Amino acid sequence: MSELFNLSNKTAVITGASSGLGVQFAHALAAHGANVAILARRKEKLESVKQEVEQKHQVKIEAIACDVTDEDQVKQAVSEVVAKFSRVDILVNNAGVGGIGVVEEMTLEDWQKVIDVNLTGVFLCSKEFGKIMIEQKYGKIINIASIFGAVGNLAFPVVAYHATKGGVVNFTRGLAAEWAKYHITVNGIGPGFFESEMTQEVGENPDANTFIKAGSPMQRWGKEGELNGALLLLASDASSFITGQTIYVDGGWTAV
């Protein structure tokens, strides 16, 4: 059974990998043998992550500066990954922004920024890295959605975030159906509340913490590493007959 989760000789690309969950994902995939290309806008932070992963895991790793909303930068990142690793087996579309703001006061610019990063970025990276997967007749795409892609909420004014993450969930279904013929699986992970750079401000708010614990049957935040099981399942051949699904790792949030 352990061979099903073996990622040796696979190449994984992770967007939004300069902090938070992206860093955890890089360590998790590298620990199971995957070579990793980490992408984000902040090259200096990427280099720090690269050093961390290299020191801990015996794999190849490349840090590539890339804004996922810029089509030319995404295409350039694909070229760099292929030049370094020759192939792309796994794509983790993790880059995202929060976008707090009540609708009646939200500017079109603020709305568009969230759309561009959270939804258009997933489209661009899937499209461009997917071309390599289509040529290979193999690929595993994992889109990071959210519990807020499945439900609304009463505590945080994040309609743009809800809209984009709901879009990611159905983008996942649609692309899974379209690319199944190429032996590419497309799935999603919907995290609940996990500690990250994006959620730091929320974690420091006592009222927000009360809301989060009350909304989850397990009455707590997710812990570091608790997304790794779903990630490894969907990145490996253990999920060879799973596609179009979003797994919610949320302590039961979306169950009630």
Tokens 């790793």, residue? Answer: 61
Is 252 part of any domain?
A: no
Residue 207 lies in a domain: yes
pLDDT number for residue 144: 98
Task: Classify residue 216: in a domain, yes or no.
Answer: yes
CATH of the domain at 35: 3.40.50.720
pLDDT score of 1? 64
Distance separating alpha carbons of residues 179 and 162, to the nearest angstrom: 26
d(CA 141, CA 20): 20
Residue 62 belongs to some domain of the structure: yes
pLDDT tens series, the chain, 256 aa: 678 999 999 999 999 999 999 999 999 999 999 999 999 999 999 999 999 999 999 999 999 999 999 999 999 999 999 999 999 999 999 999 998 999 999 999 999 999 999 999 999 999 999 999 999 999 999 999 999 999 999 999 999 999 999 999 999 999 999 999 999 999 999 999 987 776 777 777 888 888 898 889 999 999 999 999 999 999 999 999 999 999 999 999 999 9
Sign of the dihedral defined by the CA atoms of residues 81, 82, 87, 89, in that order: positive
Q: Tokens standing for 187?
A: 């799935």
CA 193 to chain CA centroid, nearest Å: 14
Neighbours of 138 (CB within 10 A): 17
Question: CA angle, 240 as apex, 224 and 21 as ends, to 5°?
Answer: 20
Look at residue 8 in the predicted model and tell me its pLDDT. Answer: 96
Say if 41 falls within a structural domain: yes
Q: Does 161 participate in catalysis according to the annotation?
A: yes
Domain that holds residue 226: 2-245
Contact partners, residue 102, CB within 8 Å, separation at least 6: 157
Contact between 40 and 125 (Cβ < 8 Å): no
**Residue 202: what pLDDT?**
78
Catalytic residue among 138, 161, 182, 248: 161
Domain count, the chain: 1
Is residue 79 one of the residues assigned to a domain? Answer: yes
* Position 168 in a domain: yes
Q: Is residue 254 part of a domain?
A: no
